[in-house]
Structure 1
Amino acid sequence: MTGNADTASAPTLPDGIVIIVKEECETCQTVVPVLQQLHAATELTVYTQDNASFPSAPTAAHDADLAVSWHHDIETVPTVIVVRNGVEVERTVGWMRPEWERLTGVDGLGEGLPVMRPGCGSMSVDPDLVDMLRVRFGASELAARRVDVADAEDVMEMMFNRGWTDGLPVVPPTEQRVMAMLAGTSRAGSEIVATVPPDLVDISVEKVAIAAVMAGCKPEYLPWVLTAVEAACTDEFNMHGLLATTMPVGPVIVCSGPGTRAIGMNSGGNALGQGNRANLTIGRALQLVIRNFGGGRPGEVDRAAHGSPAKISFCFAEADDTSPYGRLAGELGIDDGVDALTLFAGEGPHCLVDQLSRTPESLVRSFALKLQTVNHPKLIMMFDAILVMGPEHARVFADAGWDREQIVAGISEHLNRSGAELVRGADGIAEGVPEAFGDAESLPKFRPGGLMLTYAGGGAGLFSQIIGGWVNGDKGSKPVTRAVAY
């Protein structure tokens, strides 16, 4: 993080009547004649937030850095404050003739003006400025170490040189940006989210927010990132093992619920590809947490022989609002309507093409034939898989009235093969199951529950996608599903 706070003490308001205005506010413009009346009748000080020459009379002090407005909690302009012996006694906001007359002790204010008009938002609470002001005036409660950057130093190159990136540029995590990111969650910045492997470092909400900034997230994405970090740092998911394996696998985040649509996640065309900020940056933020805070860097603990572009970010939303067979999170125990994600240890997607099947009986056979190839056609029950069914394939099943259970069962029925076909040496291939399984009449490709079904993709194209998994179970990784905590 970069940036320093100006922790100067709050400016003292002068005794008398103090009024804070800004030219952009129509109510402030309306009460200029009242300011002139008060200037002639009482001890008056006017502060202006935007235009230093507004009002032209009486002359105003320019609150250029908004220090007065910030330190004295100005939320609305105009604000009228009564100050005695350097202490605020009372205030009112907006224009209301009886209140202004009562506070100032001057009658007959603003004759000809409406009796009241509401004020406008103070610049000191402008969402585009408030985080900058919090940093400027020392209201930041961030605990992370600050990194000073020389004026002549290229911040982007500095972050590359320090090994903070995934090979792509990252957004500099300034205090202002991190504080804006933290506004996306109700959780305290100091709260510990998880212990991150492989270095087993406790990571706070604030640190996750830093990674989310670097990844390019918006604040509203932060709860999803936090939940993904929690899911990844469990014994069940086994992130350390996922890093250490030489297989090209990483965390795949499957999101669902109304929140995916609220933050603009893509569940349609190109859902597994580029172009959607939420999909890409949520997945990237998780990877940056593991890299920068957990120490999971390629060539070190990350020992992938080939890797995969999916290891940069692999996150997408299910189209659960239009799915004909529900959503994965529902199958894994999350109630309908609850935002949730499932973390799966998977590789890059494999396209399944079937342009001709128009019956579920034909299509399940097609799916089964392709699914046999996950990791290797002769390796069984070691690896899970997610089938991301596209809408046109799903329509074949929906038109026939097949539900999720029937689809998975129908595919699974055609995934069984005899031990003689799978045993080591069969078909002249050394790879396969041990000889002890050679006499088995029927062996399943996936363990019970190992074939998972999701629904996403564009409406045109008879395609689906298969995401093969890493070693499953206690020796590998289990899918982890969590409700999103805001």
Structure 2
Amino acid sequence: MNQPTDGLVVVAKRECPTCALVEPLLHELAQAGQPLTVYVQDSADYAAGCPAVFYDETLEASYRLGIEVVPTVIRFENGQEVERCYGWHREDWQKITGRSELGKDLPALRPGCGSKTLEPGVQEELAVRFGNVRFSSRPIEIAGSEDLMEACFERGWTDGLPVVPPTRERVLRMLAGTTRSPEEVVGIVPPDLVACTVEKVAINAVMAGCKPEYMPVVLAALEAALTDEFGMHGILCTTMFAGPMVIVNGPITRAIGMNSGVNALGQGNRANATIGRALQLIIRNVGGGRPGELDRATLGTPGKYSFCFAEAEDSAWEPLSVERGFAKGRSTVTLFAGEGVQGIVDQKSRTPESLARSFALCLRAVDHPKLAMAGDAVLVVSPEHSRVFIEAGWSKARLREELERLLQLPGEEMVVGAGGIAEGLPLSMAASTVPKFRPGGLIIVRAGGTAGLFSAVIAGWAASGPVGSTPVTKEIAV
């Protein structure tokens, strides 16, 4: 771009009514000998006749000058900007040009228009072309004849569904969703134990279909997944059904439009679907956790595409985040090694005692009715079911206490051979009373539509022993 060392720079576009209004003034300034350079964003013939008019077709000049509104007038002295004004304001133009009679016949004030540099997608494109933007990830050149989505399939970057091609412009836009440096290493991703930067997270978030404002949630979910307690490597290796399930709490769920209501565990909500998917794609594309390789699940679960939802926090029950030690009003993600959704249908219980017994009976089936302390569980209580407890004065903690009491199981019913079933606990436990879940192994959340007396159990994976997974909660930095 041709930037003067002294004088005025005006940036305009012909389609802007205010730019058309001030066009005669540019001729007046040029004829009076005012040092003047004009950049026009959309036309080669605006201010024709002025000595230094440039068609800013690539928008490089507008980008480097930081133009957000047209017309913009900038005064330079010794190569440095000393003053600028926007739109048409007679007093400002008279001051910046030093001409007290300028535009005396024009209206006193007219707002300008938005710069073409701010049109959707343009800012990121200009930053990539002309800004000081550097990516550390290896660029992949795609031939012009290749279909971008098919190229992603062929290179093994997808989970079996189409992904959004991660162009540099899209990745840059995604990075704007966090204040963290693109070079920051979030953690080491199994199974290949590869360092994952914020930039790598952004690339996979683009492919998953995330919006930039989802980035803090994706980053927190990844941090939780990479803790030793959660055991992501083991979750990948196991032949069980488990995959990371993301439960989100706090104000951020409303800010980004997450679903905690109707069909909360199902399809249709972009934030729910893409946040969970982004985490899975990071594990696949950065860590190398691909099905049939290190991922050895016998059957798997559809939740391995994405399993993410928000807890409904519009009742007297404490949210999961508060139960797990975070202050009310803080946003968190809780990662749980979840399996599929087992429905609970109880449309007749009208007392908390009866409904708790229904829940306990269904919870006993986690893994197998004759197995205990082999897995955690999440109990998702719908609003209609939770109302039965809340109206009776039962808190979440009270419900959990009752369920833990009901799930103290007689060992004689649980041991090998009991009921004619070979599966079961060792015979040495026949005289014992056995808790179904380890201490703290039952998580209760509230979610779902307000119509329907249905709740759900989501079984967890191997909560005990050296290869198990423990739920992990991380605060979301926004």
TM-score (norm 2): 0.95
Go from structure 1 to structure 2 and tell me whether the alpha carbon gap of 1:88 and 1:77 turns closer, same or farther (over 3 Å shift).
farther
**Which of 220, 226, 238 is the matching residue for 2:231?**
238
Deviations 1:196-250 (A, max 9, x none): 1111111110100000000000000010000000000010000000000000100
In 2, the alpha carbon distance for the partners of 1:449 and 1:19 equals 66
Q: Is the 8 A contact 2:249 2:333 kept in 1?
A: yes
State whether structure 2 residue 86 is matched by structure 1 residue 91.
no
Q: Is the 8 A contact 1:81 1:88 kept in 2?
A: no
In 2, the alpha carbon distance for the partners of 1:120 and 1:14 equals 27
Q: Percent identity?
A: 55
Partner of 1:203: 196
What SS does the aligned partner of 2:409 have? coil
**Which of 426, 429, 449 is the matching residue for 1:458?**
449
Alignment of 1:170-319 (within 5 A): 170-319=163-312
In 1, the alpha carbon distance for the partners of 2:378 and 2:77 equals 70
Deviations 1:369-388 (A, max 9, x none): 11000010000012110000
Amino acid at match of 2:406: H
Amino acid at match of 2:394: W
Higher alpha-carbon deviation: 125-134 or 289-298: 125-134
What SS does the aligned partner of 1:380 have? coil
Amino acid at match of 2:476: V
**Which of 128, 132, 136 is the matching residue for 2:129?**
136
Partner of 1:433: 425
1:150: Cα distance to partner?
Answer: 0.4
In 1, the alpha carbon distance for the partners of 2:49 and 2:216 equals 50
What SS does the aligned partner of 1:363 have? helix
Higher alpha-carbon deviation: 75-84 or 460-469: 75-84
What SS does the aligned partner of 1:383 have? coil
**Which of 28, 31, 52 is the matching residue for 2:22?**
31
Higher alpha-carbon deviation: 97-106 or 274-283: 97-106
Partner of 1:349: 341
1:112: Cα distance to partner?
Answer: 2.2
Higher alpha-carbon deviation: 126-135 or 194-203: 126-135
Q: Is the 8 A contact 2:242 2:460 kept in 1?
A: yes
Partner of 1:394: 386
What SS does the aligned partner of 1:471 have? coil
In 1, the alpha carbon distance for the partners of 2:235 and 2:61 equals 53
1:54: Cα distance to partner?
Answer: 3.8
1:71: Cα distance to partner?
Answer: 1.8
Q: Is the 8 A contact 1:198 1:296 kept in 2?
A: yes
**Which of 56, 62, 71 is the matching residue for 1:63?**
56
Structure 2: tracts of 5 or more residues without a match: none
Structure 1: tracts of 5 or more residues without a match: 1-9
Higher alpha-carbon deviation: 75-84 or 220-229: 75-84
1:437: Cα distance to partner?
Answer: 0.6
Deviations 1:307-336 (A, max 9, x none): 01111100001111x133121121111111
What SS does the aligned partner of 1:454 have? strand
**Which of 103, 111, 117 is the matching residue for 1:124?**
117
What SS does the aligned partner of 2:134 have? coil
1:389: Cα distance to partner?
Answer: 0.5
What SS does the aligned partner of 1:368 have? helix
**Which of 441, 465, 483 is the matching residue for 2:475?**
483
In 1, the alpha carbon distance for the partners of 2:430 and 2:44 equals 88
In 2, the alpha carbon distance for the partners of 1:318 and 1:107 equals 63
Alignment of 1:350-365 (within 5 A): 350-365=342-357
Alignment of 1:353-392 (within 5 A): 353-392=345-384
Across the aligned residues of Structure 1 and Structure 2, the Cα RMSD in angstroms comes to 1.9
1:52: Cα distance to partner?
Answer: 3.9
Higher alpha-carbon deviation: 164-173 or 26-35: 26-35
Higher alpha-carbon deviation: 108-117 or 463-472: 108-117
Q: Is the 8 A contact 1:124 1:130 kept in 2?
A: yes
Go from structure 1 to structure 2 and tell me whether the alpha carbon gap of 1:110 and 1:243 turns closer, same or farther (over 3 Å shift).
same
| Pairs aligned (count) | 474
1:405: Cα distance to partner?
Answer: 1.2
What SS does the aligned partner of 2:376 have? strand
Amino acid at match of 2:280: Q
Deviations 1:82-139 (A, max 9, x none): 4567x34533212343443344343411012244445444332445321111012143
State whether structure 2 residue 142 is matched by structure 1 residue 154.
no
1:33: Cα distance to partner?
Answer: 2.9
